Every structure is written in structure tokens, then in C-alpha cells.
Structure 1
Amino acid sequence: MRCLNYCSILLICVLWSIIDARRPSLFDVRIDYYKVETTQDLIINNPRPRFSWKIRVLDNVSQRNVQQTVYQIQIQSIKIIQRDNQFAWDSKRVVSSQSIYVPYTGQNDLLPSTYYRFRVRVWTTNSEEPSEWTNWIQFRTTIFNLHEYLTKNNALLWIGSTKINMNELRKEFMVPNVSPIKSAITYISGIGYYEFYLNGNKVDTSRKLDPGWTSYEKRTLVASFDLTANITAGMNAVGVKLGNGWYSPEQHGKSGYGPPRLIFSLSILFENGNEMQVLSDQTWTGREGSIKHDSIYNGEMYDSRNDRPNWARVGFNDSFSLWIMPESMPSPLNSSLNGSLILQDMLPIRAGPDALNFEVMIDSQQQSYLNHEDIDEIKGAKLTDGGILKPVAMWISDSGLQTFDLGQNIAGWCRLRFRGPSGFGVYIRYGEALTQPVVSTNHSSRNIYTENLKGAAASDTYVLHGDPIGEIYEPTFTIHGFRYLSIFDPPNALTADDVECPFVHSETTLKGHFATSNPIINQIQHNIQWTQLSNLMSVPTDCTERDERRGWLGDAALTVDEALYNFDLIKLYQNFLNLIVDDQLDNGELPNFVPVGNYPSAPYWGPNYPPDPNWASALPTITWKIYRHYSDIQILKDYYDHIIAHIKYFHGLYNTTSLANFTVRYADWVPPSPEPMTNRGLIGSFGFLHDINLLIEMSQVLGKKEDTDTYSILYQKLAKEFHQVFYNTSQNFYADGMQAAQILALALPDVVPANVRDAVLNQLVTDINQKGKHVTTGIVSTARIFPILSDNGHHDLALELISSITYPSYGYMFNNPYENATTLWEFWNSPVSEREVSSRNQAMFGSVGAWFYSHLAGIDLSSNMINIRPRMASETKKHLMSKLDCQLSTLYGLVHVSYTRDKCDTVSNSILLRVTIPPNRRARVMFEPLFVGGQCKTLIESNKIIWSSDVGTVNDQGFDIEKDSTTGLMTVYTGSGQYEFQALW
């Protein structure tokens, strides 16, 4: 009996472990886009948030076709938990497969300034048991009427000084010990920039250059911090450092705003219901601290002899410097423009390891099918190295300067350790390139090249206080774009251990991994990712180093698709869209860059209005791309009316110019020298038609039939005019026959008539070949050339273009006699460009990165079904890319696509394709012929034949399979799981 009982228990345990192994679990839970795993203080600015999650199964090979059938969400208010354990909302069991943007449907809105927690569980088709509940996830709601709350309190002031450089402010306050502290929440904004200290410690140590840059008179961003665990009964002290940031007149001459200022509100709530507030007012004191001057472009001057280590602690007494009462400063907001204080709900700029999170990595759980020998050594640093760079080389230049090379172009600064006497000044200069060798002698001074910085000094000055064990200097309110730094006359020779440089950018998550057997493509992918991150500074900027760093709309529109494949940036781009509509004029006119702020015109570039059509395209393009990547119709609803106004503005211009003379500013910016730019009217007209087409697609999604009909009629009229005006009937090509003209015409639906399409394509291909398989395109047409070639039967040529290492090409940027680029150049020939301002870290040509995912890996997430169709090189060109491995973290989980050509030695014309589809999704997997006229002979999955030409479409393995008799394309429909297909042709 004892043995029977033991055996029975053992059997039950085994059976239960089998059942439990099939139970799903949930991960990457989100609330209003926020990843709860990586957001420490989860703040929701929405009384009706939405929830998302991903389903994990233990074995994707055996557990296929997993679909969610039911979900349940529970929310509790923290105060209710303490009283009676009731739910603020229990969805109960909801029969639904929805796992993204699941709405809160409680009877009442969530309350403002309230702590809540929630949890989720689901049921799926592969298990009768539900998943385990997620752990309780705590969040808090903000003050939903934040602007009114902060501006209606007459005791709350903006404080600062017009008399001195008041960049340190402090206040001590008493918290009575009459009742336990229930919560302590602060709202703070210091503009241009601020750093926040409580009781001597910096609050959120990796957060930098806060708040985000805006048109301050229209939108000033406010951060909120939960200080409940840091405030104690008795005396407390708060300190704030202020920097000039983008609020400084220095940034753009007299058109800037003014000296920095602070607004601060701390509300402490006690368990007995009492409340106290600490506000920014004239009871604070302020002084000029160790930072004697700070500028985004020109760097920082720091005298450490003025450091007061305990300045933000209780009981601080300073007998060596003067602390005075701050002035009441005017608000940056303009009430006539409906300016508002807005919670900054995008992720902040951070430095070092906290700036980048990871959803895809090459590890045991997400094994790459590429071997190490398949990938040549990448020039530059790895994103997985932790975000702190160390020098890879150092030398003394001809000028006697100690110079360091990080081996990677970045945005950030360096932490430097000095040892020397008090009062010793050190000058640090940053740059992204070295001077070129003298032609006559071929001698290089190996000095930092500074001409391309233009008006930016890009330097820091540090005065030592004389600590005998050494002291570390790190800038606070500036940012540099650089690969090299030189130290002028340091008191001691620095070693590599004395230098470390954090990579600084808006916090984000890496969600895309892309690698192939083609080393040129791998290096381009590396350069794209580092360039994109370097130019994420609360807005997507154009460059990192010179006196510009603007939120240029053209750059952002052309690179957003690539950026959203590589990184989770929805909050940053939502903020950017808000900045665009903030600066949209009443007639619908958009600027060329944002924030416009007090800079309606800018040095070197002229007036910000009117916009170039391809720059103004950022509003509809970014809106549409966010929708395509995130499947959130709310994005379209939020900006639709602004897009309509934008189209109407250009329609009005068109009525006065027609397409032949359509307005244009920058056109197809910087084609490779000495190539001219193609017809500018054609380029401007492309932007106009492109945006109307996007508007038609948006109106269809939103069910706005009247708009669909109206703008479809307009588009067809313009498409016909485009062809009539720009098509050269005697030469059978558009405009002057240049590549850009053919590309842009082909990229517009219904513009090129079917009877001339082959001739236009032939002109494009012929011109590329005549140019030695090189592009002659600027940023607008470069963004379209690779998809056009791949989608129109010339994928081999697209691969040859991207694999080129001679001028002009992406590969030339890191295979040339001058510089080995680790980021993207602004010009195809940056080191020898006639433009001395040429940037080495500019994202505008990064658009090709979207083609890597959408065509080379073939991942399309824009429909209810995941489409996977890797574009195949022909057998004669397969050496250009015989292997590929791509991971993409989607809203539902990991999509993994990996292929190897001719995997079996005995079988040529074959492809081994491995695919992972996340739970709760279905996929359409397509196999292209590997040679012209190729016909599939056999499809195999997991060593079993699922289709054979001998049998036709008969399939006994549970797959739906289609064959296109015209193209030879084979399509297999799958559910979730891991699959290993082999197609024999």
C-alpha cells in the first residue's frame, strides 16, 4: 500500500508537471506603452489606461498554434487594499484574443494622484488551466489637470535670477512627526536643464539633460518623482542645479529665451489625512555654483574650488560664498498661445547602461543561427558592452596634446580623473575626426579636426580643487558628439584608466537584431544603430557635434521606419508629433524643424517657414509609421485633423503653382558630388502626392469615407498631372533621366502608366550600371531606391549597391583612405566634402535600415497576420548574402527569421528557413524562386515533406499551402511556434 501510494503520488506529480509545463506565462506587461519591467516609478497620465502583455510558452517547437482565448485583469487601489481588499476594477473573464491595448472599462475613471496596482492572467488553446497571475504591478496616476494645479497656486513661483548666474538653489523644510508619511510626490521643471537632489543625494542618478526640449512658451515639460521612501520626519533639504540648455540666449544669439528658472511643488500626505507642501518661492536661497558657464554647443566651465559637497543636505552652512534670495521669474508659457505645463511622459535622456534596455540578444534563449565566422569583425563598440566606452588608443599629437580615440563615434562626454594642485586649469576638446595628412608629405599631425564643428566650441574647462588622491570631472549641462578627445596641458599624464565616456541618449529598448554573412551590411547596420541612438536627445536630431542638432523634420520622416524596427520609441515620436503640431500655424503650415520656439529663423538655413514638402511630410509619415509598427488606431485619431490642415495648406500652394513649379526648399538633399540634383519641382511634387496617399490610407482605416473619396479624386488628378508634366515622351524617362526622378515616380502609386513602367525601370537600372553600380541619389530618393529595386525584379542589383565599398556608397564610409566610419556620414564624401561643416554622425541616410528588416529579412507587421518574405538573391549572386539572422521583438513576442542558402551539400537551389512566430499570432511565410523561372519541387518542415510537386497541393502535416502559378511564389500559413522549413527548387 505504501508503494502504491508513493507510485500514485509520483504519477500525479509527473502528470501535473506535464500539465504545468504547457501552462502559459506572461511577460513584457505594459500599461499605456510603458514597460513595467524597466520603469521604476510607473506614472500614468490617463484615467482610462490600456494594458498589453505577451504570452510565453516553454517549448515553441512542440507547442504550436497557441492562441489566447480569455483574459482577466484586476486593479486595486492601494488605500482600498488596506481597508477591505476590494477591486477598483475586475474585468472578470473576458472571452477575447486581444492582448494589446486592452482598455480599462471600469464604471468610474481612475482617480488622480492615487496609487494602484494591477495583475493579469490569460487562458490559451494549449492548456485548460489559466496562466499564473502576474505579480501585482504598482503604478500611480498623476494630477490629470496638472497645468491648472501648478498655475492656480499663487504661492508657487518660477524662481531664478536676472542678476547673477544662479544655478544652485536650496531649501530646508521640517516634516512634523505627528503621523506616518503616506506619500510624498514632487512635480519639477527647471529650464533649460536641471538636476534634482534630496538630502544630499541626486534623485535618479542616470537621468540627464532634463526636461525635454520644447517650444517652451507653448509646452514646458514637468517631471514627477515619488519621494515617499526618501522623506523622513524632521528636517529635510532639497537642492536643484540649473543649466542654460535650449532656453539660453547664447544658443542662437538674441532670439533665445533668458536665464534658467525653476518651478517645484512637493506634496506630502500623512496617514491622518493632513497634507503639507514645499513650493518654489522666495524662501529658497541660491548662488552661482561650481559651473561658471554652460552651453550645449560650447561646453562647460567648471571651477571645482567652488564645490560645496553638502550643499543639498540639512544643516549646511556656507561661510565662503553668498547665498541670496531668488527672484520671482516670469513663466516661460505664453497664455495667448495656450501654453501649458505638461507631464513629460516620454523616457528621459540617460547616460551609460541605464540608457539602453534589451528585448533581443544573442544568448541561449534566442540563439543566432549565424556562426562567429559568418560575421566579420565589426568596427566600433558593441551596444551590449554596457554603454561606457574606454579609449582604444592614445598618443601625443604634433601640438603636444594628449589625445584619446574611443574607437566609436558617440554622443556624450567623458569622466576624467585628474591629479594636480588646486587652481590648475585643464582644457578638454572633443571632435569626431582627425585632421587629414598633408598631401605633399603624407604626414598627419593626428590633431582633432574642428572645422566641421562650425560655431560650436565643443570643449570643457575644469579647474582642480587639489584633492591629493585625485578628482573626477564629468560635465553636467552639455553634450558632445565625438570619437576623439584631447587634453590640453593636464597636470598629470592620463592613462586609459583615467578616461571613461558614457554613451548618452534618450532611454529606449533595443528590439531589433539583424546580421548576415555579408560584412558590409553588418557594418552598415552597426553604424545605423549607433547613429540613431546618438541622435535621440528627447527629439530626433540631425547631428551630434556642430552648432545645429535640430529636430529636422526631413531627417525624422526618412528615418522613422528604420528607427521603429530597431528601437522602442513610440513615446519619443509621440512627443515629437506634439512638438510639430505645437508649431503648426493656423493655416496648416508646418516648419522645417522643431521646436521652433523663439527661433522662427536660424543661422545658415534661413526662415523656418514655409516648409519643404518632404520635410513637412514628417507629420503624416511619422503618424502612419507608428500606426504600422504599433497597430494603434488612436495615433491616427490624435493627429488626423492636423494632417488634413497640412494637406490643405499645400493644396492651396499647388493652386497657385501647379506641380511643374511646386514649392521646394531642400529637395533631394545632398546627392553625391559631382552629381547634380534632379528636377526640384518633381521632388517637391513627390512629397505632396506621397502625403495625400497616406491621408487616403488613414481615412480608410478610420472609416472617413467622405475624405477617402475627396482625396482619392484629388490624388488621381495629381498623379495624371505628375506624369504629363515630368515624363519625357521622347526619352521614355522622367525629367532628366536621373535615378532620383525615376525612383520617386515609381514610388508613387498610379503615377507611372503600366505601358511605360518597364521603360522607366530600365532607365533606372541602366543609369545605376553606367555609374558603376552606384547611386546618384540624395536623402529623399535614397530612402526609396532599395525597396523599388527589390520589389521590381532587381533585388540582385539592390544587394550589389548595398555591398559596394567604392564612392559613393554606404560601404565607402568605412573603406576609404581617410576615416573608418562607425556611424553614418552626412555626405557621401564627408572627409573631402567641399562643405567643411560635414557631420560624421547624421541619421538622414539611415533609411536603408528599414529595408534590412522589411525586405532582406522580409518581416512585415502591418496587417493582422505577420508576413515573412525574405527577398532572395539569384543563385549567381547568392554569395552577396548566403546567410541571414534577424530577431524582432513585436507587440506579441519574438519574431525570428534565419536562413541559409544551399544548406544540403547534395542539393543546390535550396534554402533552409527557420522561423519563430510568437503566441497569439498567425503568419504567412513565403518562399521566392531562387532563379528566374524556378519552380518549387519540395517543401519540408522538421524533416517531413509537407508539399511536393509530384503530389500537388496535397498536405497531411496540417499546413495550408498555396502556389502562385505566375510567379512561382510558395506560401505556407502557420500559427505560432518554431518551424524549420527547407525549400528545394
Structure 2
Amino acid sequence: MNKRLSLLFLIQVLYLQLSAQVQVKQLLTEGLKDPQSIDNAHPRFSWKLSTEQKNTLQSAYEITVMDGKKTTWTSGKVSSDETLHVPYEGAALSPGKQYSWKVKVWDNHGHTATSTEAAYFRMGITAWKAKWIEPGYQEAASNRPCPIFKTSFHPGKKIASAIAYITSHGLYEAQINGKKVGNGFLTPGFTSYNKRLQYQVYDVTNLLQPGDNNIEVTVASGWYRGTIGWGTDKYGKTLGILYQMEVTYTDGSSETVISDGNWKSGTGKITYSEIYNGEWQDNRITTTNWSGVKVLDIPLTNLVASVTPPVTKHEVFSNIKRIKTPAGEDVIDFGQNLSGFVHFKASGNAGDSIILEHGEILDKKGNFYNANLRTAAATDIFVLSGKGEEYFEPHFTFHGFRYVRVKTKAKLTNIEAVATYSDVPATGIFECSNPMINQLQHNIQWSQVDNFVDIPTDCPQRDERLGWTGDAQAFVQTATFNRNVNTFFTKWLRDLAADQLQNGSVPYVIPNVLGNDAAGSAGWGDAATVVPWTMYEVYSDKRLLENQYPSMKAWVDFIQLNSPKNMWATGSHFGDWLSYKSENRSADTYTYITTQCYYALSTQLVINAARVLGKQEDVDKYTALLKKIKDAFCAEYVTPNGRIMSNTQTSYVLALAFDMLPEHIRPMAAKHLADDIASYNNHLTTGFLGTYLLSNTLTRFGYTDVAYKLLLQDTYPSWLYPVKMGATTIWERWDGMKTDSTFQTIEMNSFNHYAYGAIGDWMYKNVAGINMDSASTGFKKIVIRPRLGGGLTYAKAGYESGYGKIGVDWKIKDGGTFVMDVEIPANTTAVIYVPGKEGKQEVGSGKYHYEAVISKN
């Protein structure tokens, strides 16, 4: 027995020693795991510490970058607790070359650790040998089949490695020996193509074989040409590819396969494919008449490496419900409104067609409904070859749908819906004791991923799917909780800066496919300041802030030039888009109240950025301007007792959230806001510009109880009304479906629009209590402060920050005892407020348990 106890004791001691050891995990380069191409000459490295020992901080690090087995650069031991975006500071890195790196860390307990696995990155290519090629045949004027480009490659030696660099005018899918290259979908993505065209890089070594290798690249219109944003051929009329494959042999020699005049072009079974209208495939087509190609001498100056993960396949919905509608139609219900496509197997006679029409909702009678898609056909058509069981899946389109109307005589099996969206990591979870709020959180997260399809779109279903700036800036804070969107918005912001007009005005949509007249709206153009600043705050991404700073300034300078006497009261604006209206009452906010408030917000954010970047002259300049903006606002729109012209919830929210009012007036204005909410029987009346700020503003000024009343309201207009009506995503309108189950106008009625889902930010910060100290960035300093209310008896949330998981799990036991478990990641500190206890507790990393007696809410 004594030996057994001694052994158990020894095991326990060893366990405690091992758990106290620090580990280094999740090595990222430019925010990505092992990226295949980086344009930055000084790539940045990030890592996380993992340990069960409390109060652990990094005291020093040493980064080593390797070229094979040769050390390219070492930072030496650097006394620092920094683990985010640490820059490479060695000699110039070679284009196209792959490097590895590792990091050794020291902590404040005397422990050391080195990353057990090396991380990799490859530098972007600069020496392009490939040429743009286009089809050598005459394309049809309409209903154009997808071009296919092909060549063959015969290696004369044993291959050590093969790296392919690919981009296209249009969307491409490449194959080598019949196998798909990479797992990306809708590549090369949506950018302002004439200014910034992404290329992707693939390690294709394992796809090559001795002897002949067949290379094919199929291209579709995508966003490049065809109908996009109520116009056609925005970037060009002819599709093409640029392909370069660098092959290295085991003897050290190399060979390059490029797109040139030796390629062939033709068409195949994809007879039509467009973003809005869907894809047609005809399996009877097995051969084509191959033509040559046109070789173009096009400058390659707009080529850039991809900086964010591609769109990929994610959740698969196979538990379908087959419906025979009152109209006698065959409809499939996948149970979730999603962005993606349907794939299946089918058998039948040659020439049998399978027609799939996509829609988000059933009408009042239970019939298939897709009128809200406007001109988007959203129809996939597949034709059978008649040769046994056949598999179908679209390649170059996506749909927003829950329901699919099926027209066919063929037999369909294995029918599944596949969600496709940008492959950015999930970071947040949230749940509580109210099932309807949990469904709301579900809807928020799904509307986010459904609309994060390479760009932040407004909706995934109708003839739009554009990068509306107002939606993005309103939702970006919530987006950061649910997903790591640092690289996602890095890409989009580069296009924003590229498409920003010469006078500094920002287009309504990015990339700008609506033209230069569609620009300059308050609350929309402010994405130029709001999104970069949010990326800096949440991810501590100073380089992004520095890169976007000229764009931020240009936007504010544009406003200033259009603001005589410091009042922005000119131009066309969306205002508080889709705010509440009824036959008896309207909550319209005077447009130029919104413009002036956003003028102040963007000016403040430029001041913030200038201070971070050490631009004191700009700090002084814009600080003086900001005072004039706020003084002009108060003189024009505010009474001495805190009444604001329009007297709407949004007018008070914007004035309070953006600190437009003198401090002694703010409590009065907050009271007017709360009174207005009460006058609507505890309903919100805000639109796109007011909603995302409403609840946080109420909490800031002591009205958390009112915020909870709004959250729990389940009649129109409210967040839970769509939930009660069966929504699985966030609606564009508060009453997209009316109480009698009829619909809002078909001109604008999306059932998958993330903007109003911005309430998620308040839920993470106040229901769960996960906050960041305003004096820090990247959640280096954390504030845990749950605010009880709404009859909730528990909440559980987790957020995977750049340092690790922040977790909160609280509940109220019978008798009024509050219990909370908190997890703080290594290399951070936290301030914790426990309901029922006065004061606060300052802690380091670790897991903590708290109990307190409270009065049940």
C-alpha cells in the first residue's frame, strides 16, 4: 500500500510539474497558418503560450528563421512580453522561397519552451514568366460555356517539389491529372481587379506523376464579367488565366511550366455559370473541339498575394425534409438558411434534366417563394448522360437558400446542402438560459458566415451580394467575437483604399461596381475609419492601421471640404436606413444629424490612429477640428435640457455614443432615450446606424435594465420577433415577414442580412461580461464584468483571443447564490467584477471560481 501511495504521489508531482511548464502553440505568420505566399518584406510572427500555472507572463522570446537547415535570421533573446505581430528584421527574403521559423520563450516563473513544430511561410513571387492567355475560339454572345485551358507536362527527372501560382480573369478551378488543385472555392476571390488581382499558391508535388501530366484550368465569369451590381462586364469581357508552376528536381535543377501559346482552349460540360443565376452542366458533353489560345502582353503590376483564407466548404446538411407544397411542387427543406449549393447523385435517361431553384422561405400558404431574389435566377440545371449513377455539384456559383424547388423525372439520392464561406477561424461561443436568445446567437453567427464570402456582403441570395460599407462598419465589432476576421478585413480594406475616390470619398460598396457616383454616404464611408481602428483594437494590428491611415485621413478631409461652417449638411445619404415606420408614427432621424455625428466619429478615430502612429501634428489638427464639429452640432441640434432634434432613439444614441454632448447634458439625453423606448412599449425603432450602438449606449449610461427589455422583446420591431417567426438567420428588415405571414416589399427584403445581428457585441460584453480594457489592445488586458438581468439564470461564453481562450461561465443557483468560473489566458491580466461583491479583483492568467449572494433579478 505504501508503494502504491508513493507511486501515486510521484505521478501527482510529475503532473503538477508538467502542467506548470509553459508551451508554445499556434504559430502564425501574418495571421495565417503556414501561408503559401506573403508579399510583406518583413512578415510578422505570432504565437500563444499555454500553461496551467497561474499568473504566467512571457518575459522574453527568441525567433529563429530558417532557409532549409540554414539560419536566415535570429532575433536573439529579446526581453519582451509581446507575442502578436512581431516583425522579421533580418536580411531581404528571396521571392518564391519557403522559410520555416520557430520561437523560444521564457516566462516569469523561470520556465523556457521552444515550439515543437516549425511554422512555414513562402514569400510571394516577383519574377513572372507566364503570360495571360484567353480562349482562341469565338465565344457566344450570351449563355457562354465556361472556357477550359489545358496543357501537358512531362518531367524528365524525379520531382522534389512543384509549386503552382494561379490567377484568372473570372473564377478558376484547376486540376492536375483529374484532381482538384487546393480546396478553395470562387478563387481568386473578389477584389478591385484592375487595381488588385490576387493569385493563389499551391504545393502540387503530390499531384504530379512520372510520365505525362495533364493540367486543366476551367474559368467562369464570377464577379469579373457578366451581371454584377445591376450592370454587366464590370472589369472585362473576356476570361483568361495566368499559370506558372515551378518544378524542382531532386538533382537541384528546375523547370517552369507557364501559360503561353502552347496551351489549348475549349469548352466542356459546364455550359453556363454566373454568380446570380446559377450553373448549368450537361454530362452528355464529354469531348470538345480544342482551339489554340490568344497570348496577351498584359502588365502584371496589379498582382498581389492572397492575404486571407479562401472560401471553402464547411457544414453539410443531409437531414432533409421533403415537402409537397399546396401548389403540388416538390420542395426540399434543409432546415437552415445558408450560403452555398446543393450536391447530389442522380440516375435516369440521357437528356433528363434536374432543375434546382433556390429560395429562403415559404409563403403564407406553404408554397415555394423566391420573389425577393428579384432578377437573380439562382437556378442550377443538370442534364444526365444516362450512364449509371452520376454526381453533380456546381463549381462557380453560390446561393442563399433554405428551400430548393426540384423539377425532374430523374431519381435523386444523397442530396445535401453544403455551406461555403471564407475559411476564417471560429473564435466565439455564447449561450444562456433563454432558448430564444440562443437561437438569436445562432442566427447572428450564420448570417455572418453566409455573408463572409470573400468579402463582407449584404446578402447571399438576390441580385446584389455586394460589399456594402455601412453594413460592415455596423457589424464589425460583433464579427470579431464570432470569427478571427483580421486577415479577412485586411484584404477588404486594401480594396477600399484602392477604390476610394481621388477626393477621398468612399464608395457605397467595396469593390466598387456601382460607379463613382455611388459614394460619400455618412455611416457607410465611415467604414474607412471604423474597420481599421477595430482591427487595431481587437487584434493589435498596428501595421494595418498604418497602411490604412492615408485612407482614414482622406475620408475625413473629404467631409471637411463638404462641411461649410463645420456642418456636414450636404450630399446624398442613406441615413438611419430601415428605421421603424408605422401608419401612425415614424422614427425617422434627420439625415444631417447622422452625418454630423459620423463626421465626429471618423475625426476622433483619425486622432486615435495618429496618436498610435506618433503623428502629433495630425493629433493637434484634428483635435481642434473635432471641437468645432461638436460645437456646431450642439448649436444646431441640441437644447439646453438635452433634447435633440428629431427626438428619435437613433438621434440620442449617436449623440451619446460619439460623445457629441457636453458631459452635464449627457444624463438628460440618456433619460430622453430611455423615455422614448418606453413610449414604444419597450421596443426599439432604430435602423442600420442606430441599432448596433443602442444597447451598449444604454448600458454605458446606466440603463442596462432597458437594454435587457429590448433584447427580450419578441414582438415587432425586435431582435426576437424574427426568431419567434422561425428565422434561422438575421433579417434585413424588422418585419421581413409580417405577423400575418405576408412579406415586405420584394424590392428589398432579404432574410439573411447580418447588420441587425450587431446586438451580439452587447451579449458577449454584458451578458457574458467579456470586455477588453480600453487602455490595451488585442485583449492583453481583460475586463470580466457580467451584468445580470432579463431573468437569465446562466450564461456561458468563450472567446479565442490572440493570447488564448477567455472564458466565462456563470449561473444563479436557487436561493440567489451567484457562481462564476473565469478563464484568463497566459500572458494577459484581468480585472474581474463579481455581481454581489463590491470592488474588483485584479488577477493574472489562470482559472478562477467565484461565489456571491445576490438578489434574484
TM-score by length of 2: 0.93
Matches within 5 A, 1:713-728: 713-728=624-639
**Alpha-carbon shift at residue 226 of structure 1 (Å):** 1.6
1:368-416: per-residue Cα shift (whole Å, max 9, x none)? xxxxxxxxxxxxxxxxxxx001244212223432111111100001012
Matches within 5 A, 1:680-691: 680-691=591-602
Residue 64 of structure 2 is matched in structure 1 by 74
Residue 963 of structure 1 is matched in structure 2 by none
Matches within 5 A, 1:426-505: 426-436=354-364, 444=365, 446-468=366-388, 470-492=389-411, 494=412, 498-505=414-421
In the superposition, relative to structure 1, how do residues 254 and 203 fare at CA in structure 2: closer, same or farther (>3 Å)?
closer
Query: Is the 1:159–1:281 Cα contact (8 Å) retained in structure 2?
Result: no
Matches within 5 A, 1:385-424: 387-424=315-352
Matches within 5 A, 1:900-939: 900-901=811-812, 903=813, 905=815, 908=816, 910-927=817-834, 936=837
Residue 594 of structure 1 is matched in structure 2 by 510
User: Where does structure 1 lack aligned partners over 5 or more consecutive residues?
Assistant: 308-319, 353-386, 437-443, 602-606, 931-935, 937-968
CA distance in 2, matches of 1:504, 1:113: 30
Specify which of 466, 470, 488 is matched with residue 572 of structure 1. 488
- The answer to whether structure 1 residue 30 and structure 2 residue 34 are counterparts is no
**Alpha-carbon shift at residue 739 of structure 1 (Å):** 1.1
CA distance in 2, matches of 1:286, 1:807: 56
Residue 133 of structure 2 is matched in structure 1 by 158
Residue 506 of structure 1 is matched in structure 2 by 422
Query: Is the 1:416–1:498 Cα contact (8 Å) retained in structure 2?
Result: yes
Query: Is the 2:171–2:396 Cα contact (8 Å) retained in structure 1?
Result: yes
Residue 375 of structure 1 is matched in structure 2 by none
CA distance in 2, matches of 1:255, 1:324: 24
Residue 56 of structure 1 is matched in structure 2 by 50
Letter in 2 for 1:715: L
The DSSP-based 3-state class of the residue aligned with 1:594 is: coil
In the superposition, relative to structure 1, how do residues 330 and 763 fare at CA in structure 2: closer, same or farther (>3 Å)?
farther
Residue 822 of structure 1 is matched in structure 2 by 728
Specify which of 789, 796, 801 is matched with residue 885 of structure 1. 796
CA distance in 1, matches of 2:670, 2:554: 35
Query: Is the 1:121–1:134 Cα contact (8 Å) retained in structure 2?
Result: no
CA distance in 1, matches of 2:246, 2:665: 70
**Alpha-carbon shift at residue 8 of structure 1 (Å):** 12
The DSSP-based 3-state class of the residue aligned with 1:661 is: coil
- The answer to whether structure 1 residue 970 and structure 2 residue 839 are counterparts is yes
Letter in 2 for 1:551: G
**Alpha-carbon shift at residue 545 of structure 1 (Å):** 0.6
CA distance in 1, matches of 2:580, 2:790: 28
Residue 579 of structure 2 is matched in structure 1 by 671
Specify which of 61, 64, 89 is matched with residue 73 of structure 2. 89
CA distance in 2, matches of 1:23, 1:254: 60
Letter in 1 for 2:782: N
Matches within 5 A, 1:461-860: 461-468=381-388, 470-492=389-411, 494=412, 498-597=414-513, 599-600=514-515, 607-609=517-519, 611-655=520-564, 659=567, 661-674=569-582, 675-728=586-639, 732-749=642-659, 751-816=660-725, 820-831=726-737, 832-860=743-771
1:866-922: per-residue Cα shift (whole Å, max 9, x none)? 33243423xxxx453221111011111111112223x363xx4x5322211111111
- The answer to whether structure 1 residue 142 and structure 2 residue 142 are counterparts is no
CA distance in 1, matches of 2:851, 2:793: 15
- The answer to whether structure 1 residue 293 and structure 2 residue 293 are counterparts is no
**Alpha-carbon shift at residue 235 of structure 1 (Å):** 2.1
In the superposition, relative to structure 1, how do residues 72 and 585 fare at CA in structure 2: closer, same or farther (>3 Å)?
same
In the superposition, relative to structure 1, how do residues 463 and 48 fare at CA in structure 2: closer, same or farther (>3 Å)?
same
- The answer to whether structure 1 residue 266 and structure 2 residue 272 are counterparts is no
In the superposition, relative to structure 1, how do residues 536 and 14 fare at CA in structure 2: closer, same or farther (>3 Å)?
closer
**Alpha-carbon shift at residue 715 of structure 1 (Å):** 0.7
CA distance in 1, matches of 2:231, 2:608: 43
- The answer to whether structure 1 residue 113 and structure 2 residue 96 are counterparts is yes
In the superposition, relative to structure 1, how do residues 75 and 755 fare at CA in structure 2: closer, same or farther (>3 Å)?
closer
**Alpha-carbon shift at residue 105 of structure 1 (Å):** 3.0
Instruction: State the identity %.
Output: 29
- The 10-residue stretch of structure 1 (880-889 or 27-36) with the greater mean CA deviation from structure 2: 27-36
In the superposition, relative to structure 1, how do residues 837 and 14 fare at CA in structure 2: closer, same or farther (>3 Å)?
closer
Letter in 1 for 2:311: I
Residue 150 of structure 2 is matched in structure 1 by 170
Matches within 5 A, 1:124-273: 124-126=107-109, 128-143=110-125, 146=126, 149-150=127-128, 153=129, 156-161=131-136, 163-164=138-139, 165=145, 167-177=147-157, 180-204=158-182, 206-251=183-228, 252-256=230-234, 257-273=236-252
**Alpha-carbon shift at residue 835 of structure 1 (Å):** 4.6
Residue 20 of structure 1 is matched in structure 2 by 18
TM-score by length of 1: 0.81
CA distance in 2, matches of 1:676, 1:12: 70
CA distance in 2, matches of 1:428, 1:161: 33
- The 10-residue stretch of structure 1 (538-547 or 584-593) with the greater mean CA deviation from structure 2: 584-593
The DSSP-based 3-state class of the residue aligned with 2:208 is: coil
Would you say how many aligned residue pairs link Structure 1 and Structure 2? 834
In the superposition, relative to structure 1, how do residues 600 and 546 fare at CA in structure 2: closer, same or farther (>3 Å)?
same
In the superposition, relative to structure 1, how do residues 532 and 16 fare at CA in structure 2: closer, same or farther (>3 Å)?
closer
**Alpha-carbon shift at residue 504 of structure 1 (Å):** 0.6
The DSSP-based 3-state class of the residue aligned with 1:208 is: coil
Specify which of 329, 345, 348 is matched with residue 310 of structure 2. 348
- The 10-residue stretch of structure 1 (263-272 or 276-285) with the greater mean CA deviation from structure 2: 263-272
- The 10-residue stretch of structure 1 (111-120 or 714-723) with the greater mean CA deviation from structure 2: 111-120
Letter in 2 for 1:197: Q
**Alpha-carbon shift at residue 9 of structure 1 (Å):** 11
The DSSP-based 3-state class of the residue aligned with 1:706 is: helix
Q: Give RMSD over aligned pairs.
A: 2.4
Query: Is the 1:825–1:840 Cα contact (8 Å) retained in structure 2?
Result: yes
In the superposition, relative to structure 1, how do residues 21 and 771 fare at CA in structure 2: closer, same or farther (>3 Å)?
closer
CA distance in 2, matches of 1:920, 1:663: 48
In the superposition, relative to structure 1, how do residues 743 and 18 fare at CA in structure 2: closer, same or farther (>3 Å)?
closer
**Alpha-carbon shift at residue 660 of structure 1 (Å):** 6.7
The DSSP-based 3-state class of the residue aligned with 1:510 is: coil
Letter in 1 for 2:74: D
Query: Is the 2:151–2:263 Cα contact (8 Å) retained in structure 1?
Result: yes
- The 10-residue stretch of structure 1 (564-573 or 833-842) with the greater mean CA deviation from structure 2: 833-842
Query: Is the 1:546–1:837 Cα contact (8 Å) retained in structure 2?
Result: no
- Rg larger for: 1
Specify which of 803, 807, 831 is matched with residue 896 of structure 1. 807
**Alpha-carbon shift at residue 133 of structure 1 (Å):** 3.9
CA distance in 1, matches of 2:587, 2:652: 15
Residue 365 of structure 1 is matched in structure 2 by none
CA distance in 2, matches of 1:808, 1:547: 26
**Alpha-carbon shift at residue 10 of structure 1 (Å):** 11
In the superposition, relative to structure 1, how do residues 804 and 465 fare at CA in structure 2: closer, same or farther (>3 Å)?
same
1:101-135: per-residue Cα shift (whole Å, max 9, x none)? 223233x2222222322222322233x44225422
In the superposition, relative to structure 1, how do residues 799 and 515 fare at CA in structure 2: closer, same or farther (>3 Å)?
same
CA distance in 1, matches of 2:459, 2:369: 16
The DSSP-based 3-state class of the residue aligned with 1:116 is: strand
In the superposition, relative to structure 1, how do residues 12 and 253 fare at CA in structure 2: closer, same or farther (>3 Å)?
closer
CA distance in 1, matches of 2:646, 2:558: 29
1:215-248: per-residue Cα shift (whole Å, max 9, x none)? 2111111111122333344322111111110112
- The 10-residue stretch of structure 1 (425-434 or 64-73) with the greater mean CA deviation from structure 2: 64-73
**Alpha-carbon shift at residue 321 of structure 1 (Å):** 2.8
CA distance in 2, matches of 1:9, 1:324: 77
Query: Is the 1:803–1:880 Cα contact (8 Å) retained in structure 2?
Result: no
